Amino acid sequence: MRHLLPGPLRRVEGRPPLNAGAAVAAGSVAGVSYQVRTELAVPRTLAAVRGVTTQAQLGTEIIRLLDQVWPLLREQGARTGHNVVIYHPGTGGELVIDAGVEVPGGFTARGEVRRVDTPAGEAAAATHFGDYADLAGAYAALEQWCAAAGRQPSGTSWEVYGDWEEDPAKRQTDVYLLL
């Protein structure tokens, strides 16, 4: 799948779509350097399906949920953007997620596919380049920044996946922690 439309946030200095934010820290986790920045995140409208999963089944569940969203959007001829996954606080090792696709022009909800907005408000963010399996490094950098800055994450986070690249090293994912 190829997703070309940027979200409602503008590009800053050749970086992925972002709201005006400041780079607040740079660090390295497992040899990968991350720039952590704060942003005033604006909501992105998604067509999404909610799921409850575990860390071990996360990748499979995200694909299963997106496989419910994409056929509906194609059928409706909806204008689409990037894939997005929102992580909500769960209990007992469960991950509560909304997996969806940006729909800047809207769509008609049906079945399990419903309208969801990404969180709005101040967020700490980092951009990860590489395989999705290595996203833990971006989260570690964000957690380190929060601890050093004396900031408390809300428990909600989200990932915005860039355009598909065959080469995993070129894949871009923006990771956000709502503060």
Q: What is the pLDDT of residue 21?
A: 40
Residue 146 lies in a domain: no
Residue 126 lies in a domain: no
pTM over 0.95: no
Domain count, the chain: 1
Q: What is the pLDDT of residue 93?
A: 87
Residue 166 lies in a domain: no
pLDDT per residue, tens digit, the chain (179 aa), is 222 222 322 222 222 333 334 444 545 455 568 999 999 999 999 999 999 999 999 999 999 999 999 999 999 999 999 999 999 988 888 999 999 999 999 999 999 999 999 999 999 999 999 999 899 999 999 999 999 999 999 999 999 999 999 999 999 999 999 99
State how far the Cα of 54 lies from the Cα of 58, in Å rounded to an integer.
Answer: 6
Residue 39 lies in a domain: no
Cβ pair 41, 120 in contact under 8 A: yes
Q: What is the pLDDT of residue 32?
A: 64
Q: What is the pLDDT of residue 135?
A: 92
Residue 16 lies in a domain: no
Three-state SS annotation for 47-91: EEEEEEECHHHHHHHHHHHHHHHHHHHHHHCCCCCCEEEEEECCC
Residue 86 lies in a domain: yes
Q: What is the pLDDT of residue 160?
A: 98
Residue 64 lies in a domain: yes
The whole domain housing 113 covers: 45-117
What residue type is assigned to position 171 of the chain?
R
